Structure 1
Amino acid sequence: MKFKNFLLVLGLLLSVSCKTPTDIFKIEAKNVNINDSLQADASIESFIKPYREHITKDLDSVLGYAVDTYSKTDGHLNTAIGNLMADVVLQEADPVFFKKTGEHIDFVLLNHGGIRSIISKGPITKRTAYEIMPFENSIVVSKLPGAQIQELLEYLSKAKRAHPISKLKIVLDKDARVVKSTVNNTPIDFNKTYYIATNDYLINGGDGMDFFKGSEEVIILDYKIRNALIDYFMKTDTINPVADDRFIQLND
């Protein structure tokens, strides 16, 4: 009886295996060193050549002119290039934000580390924008209450870095305490909320900007900072940004 049961089970297994054949694959791997000894495939090169030339021509087409070379290391609490970036975000994003909400951006806060290149004296191209902002960071707007605005000011006073700002002015005393802060030349009212344009990295607490986590609302504009720069460059013949008094520290 046991032998018959064994034959029955064996028959069922064979029947199932015949209905569901199993393919066996052999996978091998090897290291391929990428170096100058590898020969380019002529057919592939021929295929991509027109696309490469088109992209290169587009990136290198001249949009404007920079009267000097600008670097994020040129200043202490604010720099010409940082001021330019913040002002560009304000100018280009505010109409988009207004169309979406009927409100205006109160001020802009970006991050010093987000500036990835200098602007060299001479022609400005689309490539310039890609070099300054190689990341895919997009502009978002935070509706931030007064308590978090206070945290924002304390963060900037302690960081003492040239984080790009626009329409916000801060004055520190010699001990790095905030003695004056205004938005659009009006003293900040910590009992109201403000609309702050920033990027999608900082809105999630990037660079330790945790105060953005207290946002009452976050409005996504679907507008990359790089594209805002390109849009600005396309309609601006000459750029000549300067460091100014938007973020300063008193000596006495």
Structure 2
Amino acid sequence: MDLKNQHFVIIITLLMFLGCKESPTSLKNIEGQRIQINYATPPNDSIDQIIAPYRNRINQVLDSPLAYSPKVISKTDGILNTTAGNFIADIILEEVNPIFAARTGKKIDFVLLNLGGIRSAISQGNVTTRTAYEVMPFENKVVIAEMDGKGVRAMVSFLIRSSQAHPIAGLQIIMDQDKVLQAVNIQGKPFDENRTYFVATSDYLVNGGDKMTFFKDHISLTDSDYLIRNAMIDYFKKVDTLKAVVDDRFVQIN
């Protein structure tokens, strides 16, 4: 092949190579639309078939009876303490105390939770795991705050001023008709301002939630690694019939 033909072949080859090279792509525009998904949206059969076994198993676990409630347990059936508040606070004291004792050799003195954390009543009838999720849907853990006498007194003053039936257990507050404090008893003994107390509460409250800023002055803090909801579920598994009453743990006398 002479030189002229060689040049011709090279040129043709280059043209073919350049012609086969992909042109660079660039984004021209972006379009989107909002697709609303609600109960009116028809299900996708193929997807539904995939998730059905998992959904059925979850529903089976959530709805299997664990205990029985002979009446409605509500957070609105009392003024200063309620059946739901008392019930949940008592559960925390019973379920978390062994954990705290095993880790520290000490006992929880009393429990303080917040009324707003209770999101549903416990209906009369079977009590299930789903019940616990409805009552306590948040991922709040139980923590134990060590408080000095000054901090406990600030806590009691807050409860008197709040006019809400915040759940308590192991603690009794008695005030007169003018909301003047008459007595504070902890585990059946008069409050001693010269000692410290261990208070079981939630991680939300110990960080100042629901305006409970007195917890910021805690001396020590122990994380139980135990969700309030899980404590409820474990308690449901242990008992046959739930018992909850409005009692004298927070009262106003004439």
In 1: Cα distance, 2:41 partner to 2:193 partner: 63
The verdict on how the C-alpha distance between 1:172 and 1:24 changes in structure 2, with shifts beyond 3 A counting, is farther
Question: In 2, distance between residues paired with 1:134 and 1:35?
Answer: 22
Residue type at the aligned position of 2:43: A
- Confirm whether residue 96 of structure 1 aligns to residue 83 of structure 2: no
Cα displacement (A) at 1:63? 0.6
Aligned match of 2:109 in 106, 110, 115?
A: 106
Distance 2:108 2:40 in 1: 55
Alpha-carbon offset, residue 221 of structure 1: 0.8
1:48 aligns with 2:56: no
Show structure 1 runs of 5+ residues with no match.
Answer: 1-21
1:196-243 per-position Cα deviation (integer Å, ceiling 9, x unaligned): 000011001111110001011111111000000000000100012111
**Matched residues in 1 for 2:211 and 2:191: separation?**
22
For 2:129, give the aligned amino acid. K
List, as ranges, runs of 4+ consecutive aligned residues in structure 1 with deviation greater than 6 Å. none
Deviation, 1:39, is 3.4
Distance (Å, rounded) in 1 between the aligned partners of 2:176 and 2:222 = 34
Matches within 5 A, 1:153-192: 153-192=156-195
Residue from 32, 36, 41 that aligns with 1:33: 36
SS of equivalent residue, structure 2 residue 174: strand
2:130 matched residue in structure 1: 127
TM-score by length of 2: 0.87
Equivalent in the alignment of 1:79? 82
What does residue 233 of structure 2 align with?
230
Partner of 2:221, secondary structure, is: strand
The equivalent of 1:150 in structure 2 is 153
Look up the match of 2:220.
217
Match for 1:83: what amino acid?
N
Residue deviations 1:38-92 (CA, integer Å, cap 9, x gap) = 4322221111000000000100000111011121110010111111100000000
User: In 2, distance between residues paired with 1:169 and 1:118?
Assistant: 24
1:166, 1:104 → 2: CA distance? 13
Amino acid at match of 1:162: A
Q: 1:192 deviation in Å?
A: 1.2
TM-score scaled by structure 1?
Answer: 0.88
Query: Match of 1:104, SS?
Result: coil
Mapped to 2, the partners of 1:151 and 1:171 lie a distance apart of: 15
Summarize deviations over 1:182-204 as a string: whole Å, max 9, x none: 10111111111110000011001
Q: Which has the greater radius of gyration? A: 2
Q: What is the SS of the residue equivalent to 1:213?
A: helix
The one of 234, 242, 246 aligned to 2:245: 242
Identity of aligned residues (%): 47
**C-alpha separation between the residues in 2 aligned to 1:81 and 1:46?**
39
Compared CA separation, residues 234 and 175, structure 1 to 2 (3 A): same
- Residue identity in the other structure for 1:134: P
* Pair 131,36 (structure 1): closer, same or farther in 2 beyond 3 Å: closer
1:127-158 Cα offsets, whole Å, 9 max, x none, are 11111101111100001111111100100111
Shift of the alpha carbon at 1:35? 4.4
- The SS at the match of 1:231 is helix
Instruction: Give unpaired runs (5+ residues) of structure 2.
Output: 1-23
